[in-house]
């Protein structure tokens, strides 16, 4: 919460103006009871109509001035609160965009969404109300005490009594509800997680008839959050009732003792009325502060959660002396030099002693059983993780010594799970590079065997893509992803099991087009299917994170039993 001060700096002018207006509003509010006292003592009792009209006009002007100040204060606080919320969301998004896989392993997607939305909203709500009340309440309370004592010093003890009782009630409520405030945001995280999993996995849930289980799971999380919210709201509902009791009880005390003071000619009737109003104003000031104190715990939790993201130390960053240039004599040469890698908190390496080289115009393939570390090689090549030992070189430079931006201009990446973005066919294919000529977009789509189904649509390349590519098939998504990588026109391309959703005919057609249209490009193909890599210039067989076979298809059929077993099984299935 302390670091929010940095976000307030751009709004210091608006904040200063708001404070001036708050003083004006408080001053106007404190003047009105004084004039009310004058009306009773000097106007009504003396039946002086001219005096009543004069005071009425003054009170009207003061009310207008106070109302105008209040409106301006609300506008300024709304501007500041919404501006800081905008800045927080922007900074959160920018920071998350810099996350590597390390950070995504720490923060769940559902939690990050909650932090960018619900947590920021909590901060905004606190600022919207707090910026007004945190200044207005003390000013009004202090001014009210001074004015009340000025009207009747003998009854000043009545002011202290309700304030002490109110503070006691507020502290009791806080002590009970504070632990629940700390758990609310984690409960929101859990509910968002379940909601997101259900929405993205709806087809699986229906296919396995898991609706009852998911409904119970959602109901459990929803009920937990509801109970926590209801408990805190019920406790807070005590406050208005306690407030009314204290205010009414205080008014009775003032009337009781005030009547005796009037009978003794110590004060006038107007003084007693003003004293009631000032006491009510003082109590309301403490209520304002209590509202702030109610909002602070939850906003503090949200602020801490936001700070966790904003101040997380990124595992993968560009060094201060990072270079953005490569050896001009090397184009598309990617070298793994004795690379080992271990995931965070893992007990053993997932890759060990991996060495190979991608060369221009050549295709290197990686195959192996599930869990052997194939995809990890792809992650290391584009620096989504950093190697634990060894080095990865691109065109003669250790990728840890160059900027991430320059590295990813060199290497295109097709992930295992094809991810499309809402927009059009064209915007998705051109996603990786600005100002791609139309003929290059068309060529990339043709190479990826996506041109036919794109042109079948009435809008062609302007055909819409819904969120996540929900309006295209799995194979079409994969082909658009391949086209997106090819449209970047990079010197190296990494395919992470990117042909798995394609039928054998389309798979073969894509590989044929790649050979024809991507000469001079280094390719790393990670695959599960033998048919996708049989014609590769070099095949690496991976098992338990180690290379156990290396060579072309014919050589490996003789020298690597594990490869031969995979090939015989898959080729036999294809023959059937």
Of 158, 171, 163, 168, residue with least CA distance to 282: 163
Q: What CATH number did the domain enclosing 159 receive?
A: 1.20.1560.10
Residues 165 and 106 in one domain: yes
| d(C-alpha 159, C-alpha 152), whole Å | 11
Round to whole Å and give the CA distance between 493 and 515.
Answer: 13
Q: Are residues 282 and 345 in the same domain?
A: no
Q: Would you state the pLDDT for residue 91? A: 92
For 291-323, letters b (16+ CB in 10 Å) and e give: bbebbbbbbbbbbebbeebeebeeebebeeeee
What is the distance between the alpha carbons of residues 251 and 541, in angstroms, rounded to a whole number?
87
Angstrom distance (rounded) from CA 266 to CA 43: 20
The dihedral over CA atoms of 116, 117, 118, 123, expressed in degrees to the nearest 10, equals: 70
Residue 186, phi then psi, degrees to nearest 5: -70, -35
CA 443/CA 486 separation, integer angstroms: 9
- CA-nearest of 124, 127, 132 to 86 is 124
Full-model pTM: 0.77
DSSP string, 265-319: TSS-HHHHHHHHHHHHHHHHHHHHHHHHHHHHHHHHHHHHHHHHHHTPPPSS---
Reduced to 3 states (helix: H, G, I; strand: E, B; else coil), residue 463 is: coil
Where does 123-204 show beta strands of DSSP type E?
Answer: none
Answer yes or no: do 507 and 444 share one domain. Answer: yes
Same domain, 409 and 294: no
The pLDDT value given to residue 392: 93
Pick out the chain residues at pLDDT < 50: none
Q: Report the pLDDT value the prediction gives residue 335, as an integer from 0 to 100.
A: 92
Cα separation, 350 vs 545, in Å, equals 5
**Which residues pair with residue 411 across a beta bridge?**
492
Same domain for 374 and 296? no
Q: Is 320 a member of any domain? A: no
Please indicate, yes or no, whether residues 304 and 439 belong to a single structural domain of this protein.
Answer: no
Judge whether 324 lies within some domain.
no
Residue 242 lies in a domain: yes
Same-domain status, 486 and 360: yes
- For residue 331, the model assigns a pLDDT of 83
Q: Are residues 347 and 302 in the same domain?
A: no
Same domain? 273 vs 358: no
Whether 120 maps to a domain, the answer reads yes
Query: What is the domain-level CATH number for residue 524?
Result: 3.40.50.300
β-pairing verdict for 546-551 and 538-543: antiparallel
Among 105, 64, 571, smallest CA distance to 344 is for: 105
Contact at 8 Å (CB) between 231 and 177? yes
Alpha-carbon distances, residue 178 vs 50, 123, 156, 295, 308 (angstroms): 56, 17, 33, 10, 21
Q: What is the pLDDT of residue 573?
A: 56
Tokens of 409: 């201009």
The verdict on residue 390 lying in a domain is yes
* Statement to judge: residues 221 and 344 lie in one domain: no
- The tokens for 526 are 């990670």
What is the predicted pLDDT for the residue at 1? 53
CA–CA gap between residue 377 and residue 116 (Å, rounded):
32
List the structure tokens of 31: 């003047």
CB 451 within 8 A of CB 489: no
Helices then strands, each counted (H, E), the chain: 19, 12
Beta bridge partners of 391: 337
Which residues, at least 6 apart from 415, have a Cβ–Cβ distance to it below 8 Å? 378, 481, 496, 498
Phi, psi at 403, each rounded to 5°: -70, 150
Residue 438, judged by CB atoms within 10 A of its CB (0-12, 13-18, 19+), counts as exposed
Chain segment 247-270, per-residue pLDDT in tens: 788 878 878 877 777 777 777 777
CA distance 45 to 38: 10
Same domain, 381 and 255: no
Which string of DSSP letters, residue by residue, matches 330-365?
-SS-EEEEEEEE--TT-SS-SEEEEEEEE-TT-EEE
Under a CB-based contact definition with an 8 Å cutoff, are residues 62 and 286 in contact?
no
Beta bridge partners of 340: 389
Structure tokens at 566: 């995979």
Q: Look at the chain and report how many structural domains it folds into.
A: 2
Give the CA radius of gyration of the chain. 35
The domain of 377 spans 334-575
Q: Look at residue 188 in the predicted model and tell me its pLDDT.
A: 80
DSSP 3-state assignment of 49?
helix
- The pLDDT value recorded for residue 47 is 66
Nearest to 14 by CA among 89, 84, 106: 84
User: Does the residue 325 lie in any domain?
Assistant: no
Q: Of 260, 277, 310, which closes a domain?
A: 310
For residue 520, tell me if it sits in a domain.
yes
488 domain-assigned: yes
What is the per-residue pLDDT across 118-130, written as a single tens digit (0 to 9) for each? 889 989 998 988 8
Same domain, residue pair 161 and 297 = yes
For position 327, what pLDDT does the model report? Answer: 76
């Amino acid at each position: 919460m302390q670091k929010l001060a940095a976000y307030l700096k751009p709004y210091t002018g608006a904040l200063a103006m708001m404070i001036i207006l708050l003083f004006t509003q408080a001053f106007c509010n404190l003047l009105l009871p004084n004039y009310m006292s004058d009306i009773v003592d000097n106007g009504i009792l003396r039946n002086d109509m001219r005096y009543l009209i004069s005071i009425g006009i003054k009170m009207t002007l003061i009310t207008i001035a106070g109302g105008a100040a209040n409106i301006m204060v609300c506008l300024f606080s709304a501007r500041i609160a919404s501006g800081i919320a905008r800045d927080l969301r922007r900074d959160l998004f920018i920071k998350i965009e810099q996350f590597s896989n390390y950070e995504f392993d720490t923060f769940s997607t559902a939690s990050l969404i909650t932090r960018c939305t619900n947590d920021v909203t909590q901060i905004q709500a606190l600022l919207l109300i707090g910026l007004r009340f945190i200044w207005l309440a003390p000013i009004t309370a202090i001014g009210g005490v001074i004015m009340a004592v000025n009207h009747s010093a003998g009854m000043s003890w009545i002011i202290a009594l309700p304030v002490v009782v109110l503070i006691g009630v507020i502290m009791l409520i806080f002590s009970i509800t504070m632990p629940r405030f700390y758990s609310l945001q984690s409960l929101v995280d859990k509910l968002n997680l379940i909601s997101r999993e259900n929405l993205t996995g709806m087809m699986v849930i229906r296919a396995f008839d898991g609706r009852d289980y998911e409904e119970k799971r959602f109901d459990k999380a929803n009920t937990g959050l509801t109970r926590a919210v209801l408990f805190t709201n019920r406790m807070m509902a005590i406050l208005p009732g306690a407030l009314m009791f204290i205010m009414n009880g205080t008014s009775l005390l003032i009337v009781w003792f005030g009547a005796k003071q009037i009978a003794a000619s110590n004060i006038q009737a107007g003084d007693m009325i003003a004293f009631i109003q000032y006491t009510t104003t003082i109590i309301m000031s403490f209520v304002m502060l209590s509202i702030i104190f109610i909002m602070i715990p939850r906003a503090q939790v949200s602020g801490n959660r936001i700070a966790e993201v904003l101040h997380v130390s990124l595992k993968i960053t560009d060094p201060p002396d990072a270079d953005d240039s490569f050896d001009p004599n090397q184009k598309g040469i990617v070298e793994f030099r004795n690379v080992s890698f271990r995931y965070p908190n893992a007990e053993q390496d997932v890759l060990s002693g991996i060495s190979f080289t991608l060369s221009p115009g050549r295709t290197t393939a990686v195959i192996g059983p599930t869990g052997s570390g194939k995809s990890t090689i792809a992650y290391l090549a584009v620096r989504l993780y950093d190697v634990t030992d060894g080095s990865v070189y691109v065109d003669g430079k250790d990728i840890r010594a160059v900027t991430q931006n320059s590295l990813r201009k060199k290497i295109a990446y097709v992930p295992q799970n094809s991810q499309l973005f809402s927009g059009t066919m064209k915007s998705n294919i051109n996603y990786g590079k600005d100002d791609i000529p139309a003929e290059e977009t068309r060529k990339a789509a043709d190479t990826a065997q996506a041109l036919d189904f794109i042109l079948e649509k009435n809008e062609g390349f302007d055909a819409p893509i819904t969120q996540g590519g929900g309006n295209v098939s799995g194979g079409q998504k994969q082909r658009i992803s391949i086209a997106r990588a090819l449209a970047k026109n990079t010197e190296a391309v990494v395919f992470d099991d990117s042909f798995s959703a394609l039928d054998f005919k389309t798979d073969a057609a894509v590989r044929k087009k790649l050979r024809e249209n991507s000469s001079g490009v280094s390719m790393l193909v990670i695959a599960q299917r033998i048919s996708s890599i049989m014609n590769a210039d070099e095949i690496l067989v991976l098992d338990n994170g180690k290379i156990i076979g290396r060579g072309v298809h014919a050589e490996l059929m003789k020298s690597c039993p594990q490869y031969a077993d995979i090939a015989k099984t898959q080729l036999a299935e294809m023959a059937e």
